[in-house]
Structure 1
């Protein structure tokens, strides 16, 4: 029995290569599967952290995993562009709950809140600087390889 016959029988008469091609097309064109792919990477990283007991958040490991997948080309950017755009377009929805929490904790408007604000601003500055340096490095690298 050939591989094509086996795959056709297993997948209801559709060869595996056709199913993979359709999945790639869906990932490149639609935001929902792209969003689910981002969610799957986060879930896998979070599960790995829980199983191994690594001392870092699953979201950070997921970010690193996503960086490796995108950097090696194992995961094409076109498979994430629309889903990531959707998430970035609705970023304010993710920021409203922390603002409401601020209103429920008036102690954050004291010296404790000022210290917290300093840490947040410094952390934001460091993250933005590191991101800018990484983007600059990758742009120079892509121009050398072009």
Structure 2
């Protein structure tokens, strides 16, 4: 019986995340936004969490499960990319350069951010 409650809790939490994602897709479709619907959904989820409309406890268990198995969720994207090789033909150099440059920028920004946060923690701000 405890497992049944846990399963139902997971379903409810997953349903909340799914509803927010669908809401993001709805806004994307009906408002002609330049940002993809899944990104709009993530921004809505962040907004709902920051404003207290949603409490972290309402989605925490299923979110931790999804984060734990995150690599599994990249499989459909990878398969979709494989089917688009003809579109990417002749653009590999640009993709590699963009990947290297963006990785470098992310590493630098992350390093600077960590240094700033460590200095703040040491000074007690």
TM-score class normalised by the smaller sequence: 0.5 to 0.7
**TM-score of the aligned structures, taking structure 1 as reference length:** 0.55
Q: Which has the larger radius of gyration?
A: 1
Does 1:85 find its partner at 2:72? no
Distance 1:124 1:32 in 2: 39
The alignment's C-alpha RMSD in Å is 3.8
Question: Residue 38 and residue 117 in structure 1: after superposition, are their counterparts in 2 closer, same or farther (change >3 A)?
Answer: farther
Q: Deviations over 1:74-102 (max 9, x none)?
A: 21001111111122222222222344444
**Conservation of the 8 A alpha-carbon contact between 1:69 and 1:75:** yes
**Conservation of the 8 A alpha-carbon contact between 1:46 and 1:59:** yes
Distance 1:94 1:64 in 2: 19
Structure 2: segments with no counterpart, 5+ residues? none
Does 1:55 find its partner at 2:34? yes
Q: Deviations over 1:47-86 (max 9, x none)?
A: 1121111221111211111111111112100111111112
Question: Residue 87 and residue 118 in structure 1: after superposition, are their counterparts in 2 closer, same or farther (change >3 A)?
Answer: farther
The number of equivalent residue pairs is 109
**TM-score of the aligned structures, taking structure 2 as reference length:** 0.63
**Conservation of the 8 A alpha-carbon contact between 1:31 and 1:86:** no
Query: SS where residue 91 of structure 2 aligns?
Result: helix
**Conservation of the 8 A alpha-carbon contact between 1:107 and 1:113:** no
